[in-house]
Amino acid sequence: IWDKSLLMIAEKVGDSTFDLWFKPIKPIQLKDKTIILEIPNRFFRDWIEDYYPTIIADVLEGVLGYPVTVKYKTAEKEDAVLRKMDSILENRRSKLASRGIYLNPRYTFDTFVVGPSNQFAHAAAVRVGENPGFAYNPLFIYGGVGLGKTHLINAIGNAIVDKNPGMIVHYVSAEQFTNEVVSALRHEKMGDLKEKYRNVDVLLVDDVQFISGKTTTQEEFFHTFNTLYEKQRQIVVSSDRLPMDISDITDRLRSRFSMGLIADIQPPELETKVAIIYKKADAEKLIISDEVAYFIAAHVKSNIRELEGCLIKLGAHASLTGMPIDINMAKNVLKDLISEDNKPITPDIILKAVGEYFGIKVQELKTKKRTKEIVNARQIAMYIAKQQTQLSLSEIGRYFGGKDHATVIYACKQIEDKRSKDENLNKSIENISKKLKG
């Protein structure tokens, strides 16, 4: 069973990741729908939970035909303090879970480092945590991947649960919500779903952009939203983009998202990154020098998950080799980071970023399709390509499915003109450019 699962995991994650993180895992026991896996040290668990939180359980479920709980056991003897912390957190997790509250106990305001890039969102989240339903409703948190949205939204939930033990706090990803709607429809259980969602005290919906294009889910969410809002129950949503940039959602939902407060999280500055590294190192009892901390911070552009990933990788390496973490080890272990620096921005990268931003397939940006949304996104991509690459107009045209240079000039002119009047457009372009740099 395990060998088969490993093969499937290898297929999903690619060889180098697999060899480094998954290959060393050994199955110890499978009993009562729980599997115990032995891993070399805690950093393996941390890394897998950060990057592939459900992959092992998903693959095993596919192979076995029923869901299993995955537990880890470390081969090394662990630091007693760390083990104690882990078990406190795990207890809290299962206590909450037994009440139907699925918050991550690690994501609290205490463990969140505040800097200029996130202080506004953080302050708003704290207020909502102190005064659910009455501070800002809804609170809409938006920001790029790995910048702390899930952390903040969980921190709100944890703060509320701590202060108001009786409150029903429901955290759900938009993807999970969609699955629940689909399943409720199929099994004719819509009544139950409505009952459940319209009676919570606090609803936290993560990655709400996922409901783009999903009409029935949007419909259900809209009514849930209204019911909760009227009862002054707190709603918090997170998204990787602004409400106006989520494609394929109904205007009435878009406007609901904008009714309360919209708070953004920007990519962290160097100092904030360094502070986050120290905080995380502290929590993992890793000793690192300023030099190593700055090295990581300088090379990881913005994604905080990557930042932590580097530290975890170093921790794993140090633990396996018994060597202290120093700058040479950092340079060696993280060398793929360095080679990625100064990568020139290419039209392909721009197409990908623009496509992701607007939820449009790259293929559609390259073809002749002329819906309003696609034309607009395509023009933005051309405009950015003109600004950020050294390519000539006809070269740019070629990347966009063989358009001539006049088309590119026209596109750039259109965007120029619109930029002077359209603040939203400016924001979008700014966000995409940031994404390119990050």
Q: Binding-site residues for ATP, please?
A: 146, 148-150
Q: Nearest approach, Cβ of 148 to ligand ADP (angstroms)?
A: 3
- The strands making up 202-206's β-sheet, listed across from edge to edge, are 169-173, 202-206, 234-239, 139-143, 261-265
112 binds, among Mg ion, ligand ADP, none (CB under 5 to 8 A by kind): ligand ADP
Decide: is 281 part of the binding site for ligand ADP (CB under 6 A). Answer: no
Q: Nearest approach, Cβ of 127 to ligand ADP (angstroms)?
A: 17
Pick the closer one to ligand ADP by CB: 312 or 384: 312
Pick the closer one to ligand ADP by CB: 288 or 408: 288
Decide: is 434 part of the binding site for ligand ADP (CB under 6 A). Answer: no
308, 347, 383, 400: residue in contact with ligand ADP (rule CB under 6 A)? 308
**351, 365 contact by CB (below 8 A):** yes
165 phi and psi angles, rounded to 5 deg: -55, -25
Decide: is 149 part of the binding site for ligand ADP (CB under 6 A). Answer: yes
Whose structure tokens read 């999970």? 176
Decide: is 139 part of the binding site for ligand ADP (CB under 6 A). Answer: no
DSSP 200-233: -SEEEEE-GGGGTT-HHHHHHHHHHHHHHHHTT-
**357, 435 contact by CB (below 8 A):** yes
39, 60, 125, 147: residue in contact with ligand ADP (rule CB under 6 A)? 147
Instruction: Select the residue whose beta carbon is closest to ligand ADP and give its number.
Output: 148
Distance CA 226, CA 413 (A): 42
46 binds, among Mg ion, ligand ADP, none (CB under 5 to 8 A by kind): none
Q: Nearest approach, Cβ of 265 to ligand ADP (angstroms)?
A: 7
143 binds, among Mg ion, ligand ADP, none (CB under 5 to 8 A by kind): ligand ADP
Q: Residue 329: is it exposed, middle or buried by C-beta count within 10 angstroms (0-12/13-18/19+)?
A: middle
Q: Nearest approach, Cβ of 436 to Mg ion (angstroms)?
A: 21
Residue 31 DSSP one-character state: E
- Under 8 Å CB-to-CB from 27, ≥6 apart: which residues? 1, 2, 35, 36, 37, 38
Pick the closer one to ligand ADP by CB: 52 or 107: 107
Decide: is 46 part of the binding site for ligand ADP (CB under 6 A). Answer: no
42, 45, 151, 273: residue in contact with ligand ADP (rule CB under 6 A)? 151
Question: In the chain, what is the straight-line distance between the N-terminal and C-terminal CA atoms, in Å?
Answer: 40
Decide: is 296 part of the binding site for ligand ADP (CB under 6 A). Answer: no
Give whole-number Cα distances, 290 to 58, 168, 273, 322, 402, in Å.
39, 43, 12, 21, 50
Q: Nearest approach, Cβ of 161 to ligand ADP (angstroms)?
A: 18
From 110-118, 217-225, 344-352, 398-406, give the range in contact with ligand ADP by CB under 6 A.
110-118
Decide: is 304 part of the binding site for ligand ADP (CB under 6 A). Answer: yes
21, 43, 52, 112: residue in contact with ligand ADP (rule CB under 6 A)? 112
Decide: is 273 part of the binding site for ligand ADP (CB under 6 A). Answer: no
- Under 8 Å CB-to-CB from 364, ≥6 apart: which residues? 355, 374
151 binds, among ligand ADP, Mg ion, none (CB under 5 to 8 A by kind): ligand ADP
Q: Residue 3: is it exposed, middle or buried by C-beta count within 10 angstroms (0-12/13-18/19+)?
A: exposed
Contact residues for Mg ion, defined by CB under 5 A: 149-150
From 87-95, 174-182, 301-309, 412-420, give the range in contact with ligand ADP by CB under 6 A.
301-309
> Given the DSSP bridges, would you call strands 26-31 and 34-39 parallel, antiparallel or unpaired?
antiparallel
90 C-beta neighbours (distance < 10 Å), count: 12
Residue 244 DSSP one-character state: G
Q: Which helix (H) or strand (E) holds 184?
A: helix 174-186
Decide: is 305 part of the binding site for ligand ADP (CB under 6 A). Answer: yes
140 phi and psi angles, rounded to 5 deg: -115, 110
Decide: is 148 part of the binding site for ligand ADP (CB under 6 A). Answer: yes
42 binds, among Mg ion, ligand ADP, none (CB under 5 to 8 A by kind): none
Positions touching ligand ADP (CB under 6 A) are 50, 107, 111-113, 118, 143, 145-151, 276, 304-305, 308
